[in-house]
């Protein structure tokens, strides 16, 4: 199965906050499409971008991006043959023309895109482990989180509110997999 393995994800983290995050991801599984990761893919990203935060690297070993509710997490592969789905990759954001068109610094490692096109990134020059949000339209950083785990927790809780308000639908590919089992 190409989806994230919750048991493996739980084994990577010992913090109470991440344990809660993983439990919520499992509980709301039909609303996201997170792909299974691997140490090899995580190693390739780390080789290209040294000094990424450890909590993010742990995540990459188990989750290779996908759809985190209404946020696109970048992946190492542009197409998943088993799901027959295309994804945005980290490589897309190493493209100089794209970076210039949305005023992204070369020091930023973009790992996710909000539904309204803002990007989430680590500032590799600062190497502070914080996650920043770049407002593409306003050309400004307007939010940050101390860690990737904090960012993930906020994304999950915001999505749960959208689900409760019936504003976030099931992910169709998850429903298809369940129907075909």
pLDDT of residue 8: 92
pLDDT of residue 84: 87
pLDDT of residue 82: 85
Question: Tens of pLDDT along 41-79?
Answer: 899 999 999 899 999 999 999 999 999 999 999 999 899
Measured CA angle at 56 (ends 89, 67), to 5 deg: 45
| Residue 10 host element (H or E) | helix 6-12
Instruction: Name, in order, each residue with C-beta under 8 angstroms of 49's C-beta and a sequence gap of 6 or more.
Output: 90, 109, 124
* Predicted TM-score (pTM) of this structure: 0.92
pLDDT of residue 181: 63
pLDDT of residue 46: 92
pLDDT of residue 88: 92
Instruction: Name, in order, each residue with C-beta under 8 angstroms of 16's C-beta and a sequence gap of 6 or more.
Output: none
Query: Which regions of the chain are under pLDDT 50?
Result: none
Question: Directed axis angle between helix 54-62 and helix 39-48, to 10°?
Answer: 140
Spatial distance between the Cα atoms of 150 and 35, rounded to a whole number of angstroms: 20
Spatial distance between the Cα atoms of 4 and 60, rounded to a whole number of angstroms: 10
pLDDT of residue 179: 66
Residue 2 structure tokens: 């190409």
List the domain boundaries for the chain. Answer: 6-78+144-174
């Amino acid at each position: 199965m190409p989806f994230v393995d919750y048991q493996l994800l739980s084994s990577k983290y010992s913090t109470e906050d991440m344990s809660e995050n993983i439990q919520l991801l499992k509980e709301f599984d039909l609303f996201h499409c997170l792909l299974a990761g691997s140490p090899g893919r995580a190693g390739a990203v780390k080789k290209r971008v040294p000094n990424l935060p450890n909590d993010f690297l742990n995540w990459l070993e188990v989750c290779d991006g996908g759809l985190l509710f209404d946020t696109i997490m970048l992946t190492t592969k542009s197409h998943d043959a088993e799901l027959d789905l295309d994804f945005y990759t980290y490589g897309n954001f190493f493209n100089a023309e794209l970076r210039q068109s949305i005023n992204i610094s070369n020091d930023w490692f973009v790992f996710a895109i909000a539904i309204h096109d803002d990007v989430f990134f680590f500032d590799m020059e600062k190497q502070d482990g914080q996650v920043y949000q770049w407002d593409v339209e306003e050309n400004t950083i307007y939010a940050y989180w101390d860690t990737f785990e904090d960012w993930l927790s906020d994304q999950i809780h915001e999505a749960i509110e959208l689900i409760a308000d019936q504003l976030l639908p099931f992910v169709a590919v998850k429903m298809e997999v369940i129907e075909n089992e």
